[in-house]
A and B are shown apart, each in its own frame.
Chain A
């Protein structure tokens, strides 16, 4: 191709006065942006390769570096924006589907940011978590309709299998293969230390991580990678992945170059073969098929493991959830359209699915209207960014939240959205040994634990402010929420009043 239509997106700005040519930027850039010129005695940069992952910026000991968005733009046009033009150029150049990763970056409404939280004043005391117990423990799973008593009249204290969590947050599915061994290890260790759960994703469970089984959710996805009896028995729960918020309606494709060594062994597929997850499960073409898979998995695990069904939030999510709640599943995980991914067609990521806030509210209400809310727990995911997002989700009706992007950020991800390149400079979304070693699980797990501990503190403080001292009293407690700047329809779907009402 003769003419390069696209000017480098980012500019590497180096303060020569501060640069000590230690070359750490050069050593740390897998994209090979930086190089040292012995002739000039200075560092050079090839900006065409820069993805703005900020690794060099973070490691530069003299803060001599910054990466800025290039001010070089096409002529201003509200309709034909810069990104739109660039995408056209890219496709005209490649003839291919645009690929991207992580979550939808487009300016759709973020309802979390239009919902405000209540606090106690005068008529009801706020509760100080430093002085009073403040509980965040939750149990996920089916609750029976009625208690039972034995012949002596004593309560039969048995529940269907549950997942017990110290706080209502779990690390959601990210497969080994899409992320590194060390990233998985960090998640597993942090989940164990925190008393929560992480999710294997569809890549199977590395043999080293069976030890973390009680805090592991093992996923069964359409590709069935790495699924076998021991795997199903290893976890605290089994998740059937029907869909993913970032790319509803399509499957997955992990290129063969990432299927190496342990990844191939764990997935139980030959090295170098592409790992293709079909769009549907080819044994599930309808709800009754799902029920069969749910019970197949329960049979295989002697009814000891709760089964989660994960779906992408799509238009008729409430109806789908209702069907799942009657399928024998114990937990429904709903993934909103802002959820992340290791790779997705850009157009799908940015245009398919609905926001988790609306999906969650609709599902929770629908299940209550049908009187089957107790059949299942609801887990909400797809860009839960903070403790207050968690609180709002719980108040809307979720039992717990899934986080993934936030967890990756804690591990060092800078959301450069080039996971699909396999050259993650932070050692997360890569299988290159020299890169994966950049994520020391001692640090990774500690940062995850820190993040969750911080959120837990915030959750306690905020619900304490509401006069609530246990998280279960927040679940579905929509009176604790008010909307701002939302339409009647949005308020109606969310089931909340407007601020001031």
Chain B
């Protein structure tokens, strides 16, 4: 399965992935319309400083602790992709508490949202990857070692 992977040596901490993510999931067709004057709630975020930086988004684990821990049964793994059913989520943040990658954060209403690889929005494939200026994140198949 294709996933988003990080090549941290190439991350510039430009944070464009966050903006592209928020835009892709905004439902708007114009980035200005989607993001101007708004607080950003992206499903990917950049960590680190100017020396080391990297973008973190859901790893779509083979054995997802978040899914197992979700007290609302809102998280599930479908064809390898971890999805959240926002209708079921009550915002308890147990998933945030268990995700060892620090990949999850709620939306502005406190309900979980997460990277679903842009498969359901108009981007069609991860907008963060498409917009990364330096291939610091890539969307590809990799072998389990």
Contacts of B72 in A (CB 8 A): none
A440 interface residue, CB < 8 Å from B?
yes
With A434-B50, A440-B135 already in contact, the answer to whether A22 and B32 are too (CB < 8 A) is no
Among A19, A20, A433, find the residue whose CB has the most chain B CB atoms closer than 10 A. A20
B136 interface residue, CB < 8 Å from A?
yes
A440 to B131, CA, bound (A): 15
Minimum-distance CB pairs A-B, first 4: A440-B10, A20-B35, A440-B134, A20-B36
Among B20, B23, B32, find the residue whose CB has the most chain A CB atoms closer than 10 A. B32
* Chain B 2-45 per-residue mask, 1 if CB under 8 angstroms from chain A, else 0: 00000101111111100110010000000110011100000000
**Residue ID in chain B nearest A15 by CB atoms:** B32
**Residue ID in chain B nearest A23 by CB atoms:** B15
B133 interface residue, CB < 8 Å from A?
yes
- Are A24 and B35 in contact (CB-based, < 8 A)? no
- Count A-B pairs with CB separation below 8 Å: 59
- Are B135 and A20 in contact (CB-based, < 8 A)? no
Partner pick for B20 among A61, A440, A442, CB 8 A cutoff: A61
A286 to B133, CA, bound (A): 50
B142 interface residue, CB < 8 Å from A?
no
A13 interface residue, CB < 8 Å from B?
no
- Are A22 and B19 in contact (CB-based, < 8 A)? yes
Contacts of A438 in B (CB 8 A): 12, 134
- Are A24 and B135 in contact (CB-based, < 8 A)? no
**Residue ID in chain B nearest A433 by CB atoms:** B51
Contacts of B133 in A (CB 8 A): 58-59
* Known contacts A18-B36, A27-B12, A28-B14; 5 further A-B pairs (Cβ under 8 A): A22-B15, A28-B12, A61-B20, A437-B10, A440-B10
What is the interface of chain A, defined by CB distance below 8 A to chain B? 17-20, 22-24, 27-28, 58-59, 61-62, 64, 433-434, 437-440, 442-443
With A18-B32, A440-B136, A443-B134 already in contact, the answer to whether A61 and B19 are too (CB < 8 A) is yes
A-B residue pairs in contact (CB < 8 Å), sample of 9 = A22-B35, A24-B19, A28-B12, A59-B133, A61-B16, A61-B31, A61-B131, A62-B32, A64-B32
A59 to B136, CA, bound (A): 15
A437 to B135, CA, bound (A): 11
- Are B13 and A27 in contact (CB-based, < 8 A)? yes
Contacts of B37 in A (CB 8 A): 20
Nearest CB in chain A: distance from B128 CB, A: 12
Nearest CB in chain A: distance from B60 CB, A: 23
Contacts of B7 in A (CB 8 A): 440
**Residue ID in chain A nearest B18 by CB atoms:** A22
Contacts of B32 in A (CB 8 A): 17-18, 20, 62, 64
Among B13, B133, B136, find the residue whose CB has the most chain A CB atoms closer than 10 A. B133
Nearest CB in chain A: distance from B54 CB, A: 12
**Residue ID in chain A nearest B20 by CB atoms:** A61
Contacts of A19 in B (CB 8 A): 36
**Residue ID in chain B nearest A55 by CB atoms:** B133
Partner pick for B9 among A20, A58, A62, A437, CB 8 A cutoff: A437
With A17-B32, A433-B51, A434-B51 already in contact, the answer to whether A442 and B135 are too (CB < 8 A) is yes
Partner pick for A59 among B10, B14, B31, B36, CB 8 A cutoff: B14
Contacts of A61 in B (CB 8 A): 16, 19-20, 23, 31, 131
**Residue ID in chain A nearest B36 by CB atoms:** A20
A17 to B36, CA, bound (A): 9
- Are B134 and A62 in contact (CB-based, < 8 A)? no
Contacts of B16 in A (CB 8 A): 22, 24, 59, 61
A59 to B133, CA, bound (A): 8
* Chain B 92-133 per-residue mask, 1 if CB under 8 angstroms from chain A, else 0: 000000000000000000000000000000000000000101
Nearest CB in chain B: distance from A453 CB, A: 19
**Residue ID in chain B nearest A439 by CB atoms:** B134
A71 to B144, CA, bound (A): 58
Nearest CB in chain B: distance from A425 CB, A: 11
**Residue ID in chain B nearest A18 by CB atoms:** B32
**Residue ID in chain A nearest B9 by CB atoms:** A437
A24 to B7, CA, bound (A): 19
